[in-house]
Amino acid sequence: MKIYIATLPNGFFGSAGQSWKSIDVNKLASLLNHDTEIVTINDLMHIDFQETDTVVYTSSDERNIRAYLIDVMYFVSKKCNIIPSYDMLMSHENKGFQELFRNELDFGNLHGNYFFDLDDAKLAIPKVLKSVTGAGSSGVYLVKKQDEIEDIRDKHFTVSKKRKVIKLQRKFKLQSDEYSIYDYRHKGFNRFVEQDFIPNLTHDFKILVFGDRYYSLKRNIRKGDFKASGSNLFEHVMPSVEVLNYAKSVFETIDNPYASLDIAQSTNDCHLIEYQGTNFSPGTLLKAPNRFLCKNGEWLKEKNDKDLEANYAHALNLFVDSNYLSDISVRMNITSKNDYAEVL
């Protein structure tokens, strides 16, 4: 088994926070338990992978790089293991895919709907509408009245003035059934997600998970607002046991070595607002004084070492050893430690 760490062609490996900061891939490679080679994403289609190999990569907030990765990693995933999973890559900067994935695996405790035609929105008001590509709190709207939906339509679901003129011309030239098809094609579409509104929230929690280590940031909501993201009213405090248990259950469901989870707790339950499994900001890990671990069903607090590469390596080692080594043993009928040594 071999691990390949795939950087951008210039050696950059994101997930370090700001777009100008890279993870130290040499340090990361030195901390992994298996033979590791650093390559670039351009090399991946030319490597003769073994089925037991693993490619570790990260997505990008630059949309063309991300689109390239979506294309390339689809084929790489057919040859070997990839981390993050293809589901996590598709979920990055894509709230629509997140919604489909949540529905598929039935997690999140929050009703939602993904659509491209605003007339196909179906949740009752009040509700939250989100552009699928909005980062942080951008493109997020609380809808309390019908006329607010019309405001969103005017802003996000309209066509250009030029197209409106062309549509008028087509109306006089086309048969009614033909124009109906043409009119729908140019109705004005956008990809959005709607979610149930959780009332009376005063805060939520950003939970970063690296293997069995949980890092917490309490994000308070500004007066008169409904969302904590972007408020800058932060506290590093221990969440409730319910929030930590819920974070653990979500993390185990998405099946990734690390994750960023936005979790709200209402009077009835905990709810997953959003998640990411790649290229998320590690700020909570780098600033929190403590981290939390679940031992024998109890949550324990320990001092945070604030070492980003060591945490990524810890999470990767746990994930690879618990997921992929067991797969190797099943496929090859391995029964002894000596057999493992031959494979690895």
Write out pLDDT tens, residues 293-327. 999 999 999 999 999 999 999 999 999 999 876 55
pLDDT in tens, 217-271: 999 988 877 776 665 788 999 999 999 999 999 999 999 999 999 999 998 899 9
pLDDT, residue 268, reads 86
Q: What is the pLDDT of residue 341?
A: 38
Q: What is the pLDDT of residue 134?
A: 67
pLDDT of residue 340: 36
- Give the tens place of pLDDT for each residue, 130-171: 999 866 667 899 999 999 999 999 999 999 999 999 999 999
pLDDT of the residue at 105: 96
Measured in whole angstroms, the distance separating CA 299 from the mean position of its chain's CA atoms is 25
Question: How does the average pLDDT of the chain come out, rounded?
Answer: 91
Share of the chain above pLDDT 70, in %: 92
What's the whole-model pTM score?
0.90
Q: What is the mean pLDDT of residues 117-126?
A: 96
Give pLDDT, residue 135. 66
Angle at 281 between CA 280 and CA 285, to 5 degrees: 115
* pLDDT of 8 over the 70 cut: yes
Please write down the HEC assignment for all residues of the chain: CCEEEEECCCCCCCCCCCCCCCCCHHHHHHHCCCCEEEEEHHHHHHCCCCCCCEEECCCCCCHHHHHHHHHHHHHHCCCCEEECCHHHHHHCCCHHHHHHHHHHHCCCCCCEEEECCHHHCCCCCCEEEEECCCCCCCCEEEECCHHHHHHHHHHHCCCCHHHHHHHHHHHHHCCHHHHHHHHHHCCCCCCEEEEECCCCCCEEEEEEEECCEEEEEEEECCCCCCCCCCCCCEECCCCCHHHHHHHHHHHHHHCCCEEEEEEEECCCCEEEEEEECCCCCCHHHHHCCEEEEEECCEEEEEECCCCHHHHHHHHHHHHHHHHHHHHHHHHHCCCCHHHHHHHC
Residue-level pLDDT at 229: 67
Which has the minimum average pLDDT: 61-70, 242-251, 326-335? 326-335
Cα gap 22→28, rounded to integer Å? 11
Tokens 């994930």, residue? 319
